[in-house]
Structure 1
């Protein structure tokens, strides 16, 4: 496929080393890891190696890693577990910037009797720990605070919130899907009771994710009917996908400092060039952010129209979360940050990845400037 891909927060291309690790398990090697014969045991060994690789990347014990199909599944599993353990009478505190899978799951358990409090971020897109912790009640059972936001890229104070939750006996779910593979993530340092990651966000396969459950933290499985994953997630293991997730974790672990610096250089190069476009506004620029993410508004335009024009020119960007990109309504996150509706609608997200090069940034900027000028002039492509 031709064109320049600048939408790596939606998904990333599969790394060649990851593909090479997966290929044997898509052809000449097979086996159900639950089987005790040599085919099954070979598959089980590959799965356990991947478990160790994932654990190493996030500073966890391999026994804490539960493989699953997606970050969405993992988030749902944790929220439903907490709701069931509370008899559907517990209280949840959810950051407004969470992924839709967290908001939708919280809304679903609220229909069954749970209470949910949503805490907005500050105008810079970062949650204030004191404000979130002040929302806790005696009946609170779970706080959900992601590590990095998928739209504006802000990195959240998970460690400070986790410490406050621990003092109050409340469990913390940290959706780190957008952070793992881009910045250093240490589950122990964060203090999260549940940590979620997904391979396709850091050049691994779609359909491979992990939920890291701290030590003896309580967890009721969402999928039942089998003893897989130490009875925490029933389903025949997708060996090829899990092996790919492990390989992506191993590659990221070895490359992380250089990877983050390279991505930050691309983002900074882009944002420096954006200054030449009249009226441009870069969101959350002064906040701690992912090194690869630039969220920018061009007031007076419609971001979706700009995205389409850029696509026709050969550049793929986003108007927000890919999970919500079918909608033309402004991003709820941007509105929660206090950004005006018109400015929110005028925004696009540019997210860089390992396949991008400085020359692509240099070629993209004049195309972006031309597209903005054309839309402001009311001309058609």
Structure 2
């Protein structure tokens, strides 16, 4: 489920021109081994680590088959948030209450945030993935789509192996190389792995306490602001200037309130916030606070991030969102057609992929304003036909 793009990977992206990818898999592995030894790993460790590595076609198929992210927010969230998951979140929240209390004390992160990730990533540790992690990482490093992300993860896994915390043959996880109950990449484990159960080891697969503390450490390192909200459902006045909405526009909570924005529950925090309309002005509406942006360091999918953030609020007592009556979503093919038209008008939509991400939404909003349409950034057939 997770589309991994960690802060460490972003920082390394500038060296992609020096990273090798492609060619025969065996030559690629030999190059990796040579680089590993140049980094100071001894030959015996390197040879043992890479001894049985193989390319995984299943990983490549999974990487290219992420159509789930083409679903709209209502469809996606209803698929992921069942009553059973709501009930299980309550159960696990009570079972590991002491760990969540510790996380709140040390990191200022609500248990709802981590329970939502735990639920979506592995169903509370029950489904962690059975892909060989080393094969997955080397396969994706060899593939030339995102070598700047996956090549460093191979060397991080090698470091974990040198420490005795990784098995090239037995460590398994998700198709994209994440390990454990909250699905962390090797670099993240090195930087943020925490011993939550006090046994002297960091076991993200077998120990919920370790996994939760490590996930909290990772969110903190990505910029989580302690003891602040992240998302809040609101109701909007019908005369709101829709061009003010979207994550690229921000005002204080007090300014939004002065425009008639009202919370469904609780009070609006007087923090910088954006109006998030995942399905346009006729669908659900949320205030997105600074912590909402941290979610995008965990996962780049707008629909996943919004769903995970909303589920976190639901776990903490927020009601089910008001679905409203949004204009029907475009199909994946229609979104791609729209993205091509937007590109032709000079907009950067981040690629023609059929996914309504933030760059596509910003381009849609610009064109809606130009055409005199309500500029709520929700792509419609009317806009598609007008372009």
Same fold (TM over 0.5): no
Pick 1 or 2: higher relative contact order, CA cutoff 8 A, min separation 6.
1
Smaller-chain TM-score bracket: 0.3 to 0.5
Higher helix share goes to which structure?
Answer: 2
The TM-score, its normalising length taken from structure 2, stands at 0.32
